[in-house]
């Protein structure tokens, strides 16, 4: 993942940039960091040249407070059978096994003009 960076403050809907090996199909997954909740499959990425990709990533919903921390990971299935269950809007209790993935990226939701979530630092 190239953008956002570790611990960066993000908007609820944020553009993400990354790079994956060619012939792989990156899929972005997001979850709230502090409760070990479900991983939410994001909309399909837009592939560019050289393995670069762009994705629109959603952090929480309209009621998610500023200061909420999230984790992001990109999994890169090579075959359609590896992508089973990775449809946009689906949720997963655990990350898929046997599929290459990025390191976890932690980010924080920022809503301009709003107070931070209680307990968020």
| Angle at alpha carbon of residue 70, lines to 106 and 51, rounded to 5° | 60
* pLDDT value at residue 120: 56
CATH of the domain at 68: 2.60.40
> What is each CA distance from 41 to 23, 50, 56, in whole angstroms?
20, 24, 11
Whether 29 maps to a domain, the answer reads yes
pTM: 0.89
Average pLDDT, the chain: 91
Higher confidence at residue 120 or residue 12? 12
* pLDDT value at residue 69: 96
> What is each CA distance from 49 to 16, 22, 69, 102, in whole angstroms?
16, 9, 31, 19
Whether residue 115 has pLDDT greater than 80: no
Number of domains in the chain: 1
Cis peptide before 4 (omega within 30 of 0): yes
- Token pair 């553009």 is found at 15
Give residue 90's domain range. Answer: 9-109
* Closest to 101 measured CA to CA, from 82, 121, 80: 82
Whether 43 maps to a domain, the answer reads yes
pLDDT digits (tens, 9 = 90+) for 17-72: 999 988 888 999 999 997 778 999 999 999 999 999 999 999 999 999 999 999 99
* pLDDT value at residue 78: 84
Whether 121 maps to a domain, the answer reads no
Whether residue 121 has pLDDT greater than 60: no
Whether 2 maps to a domain, the answer reads no
């Amino acid at each position: 993942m190239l953008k956002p960076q570790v611990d960066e403050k993000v908007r609820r809907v944020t553009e993400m940039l990354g790079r994956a090996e060619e012939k792989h199909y990156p899929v972005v997954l997001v979850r709230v960091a502090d409760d070990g909740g479900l991983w939410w499959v994001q909309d399909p990425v837009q592939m560019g040249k050289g393995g670069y990709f762009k994705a629109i990533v959603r952090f929480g919903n309209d009621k998610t407070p500023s200061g909420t921390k999230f984790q992001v990971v990109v999994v890169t299935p090579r075959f359609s059978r590896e992508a089973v269950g990775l449809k946009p809007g689906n949720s997963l209790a655990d990350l898929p096994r046997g599929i290459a993935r990025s390191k976890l990226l932690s980010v924080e939701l920022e809503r301009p003009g709003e107070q931070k979530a209680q307990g968020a630092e």
